[in-house]
Amino acid sequence: MRTPIARQRPTRQRSALLEALANCRDFVSAQDLHTRMTDDGTRIGLTTVYRALRDLEAAGEVDVAQAAAGERLYRWRPDTGHRHYLICRACGFSRPVDSEVVEEWAGQIAADSGFAGVEHVVELTGVCDGCQPAVD
pLDDT of residue 36: 94
| Domain-embedded: residue 94 | yes
**Any idea what the CATH number is for the domain that residue 63 is in?**
1.10.10.10
Total structural domains in the chain? 1
pLDDT of residue 74: 92
| Domain-embedded: residue 36 | yes
pLDDT of residue 2: 46
CA 47 to chain centre: 18
| Domain-embedded: residue 102 | yes
**Is it the case that residue 82 has pLDDT exceeding 80?**
no
Instruction: Domain of residue 17: give its range.
Output: 12-128
CB neighbours of 93 closer than 8 A, spacing ≥ 6?
Answer: 26, 87, 128, 130, 131
- pLDDT tens digits, one per residue of 97-107: 888 888 899 99
Say what the pTM is.
Answer: 0.69
| Domain-embedded: residue 77 | yes
| Domain-embedded: residue 64 | yes
| Domain-embedded: residue 5 | no
Task: Tally DSSP H helices, then E strands, for the chain.
Answer: 5, 6
**Is it the case that residue 56 has pLDDT exceeding 50?**
yes
| Domain-embedded: residue 117 | yes
- What is the C-alpha to C-alpha distance for residues 45 and 63, in angstroms, rounded to an integer? 22
| Domain-embedded: residue 97 | yes
**Is it the case that residue 89 has pLDDT exceeding 50?**
yes
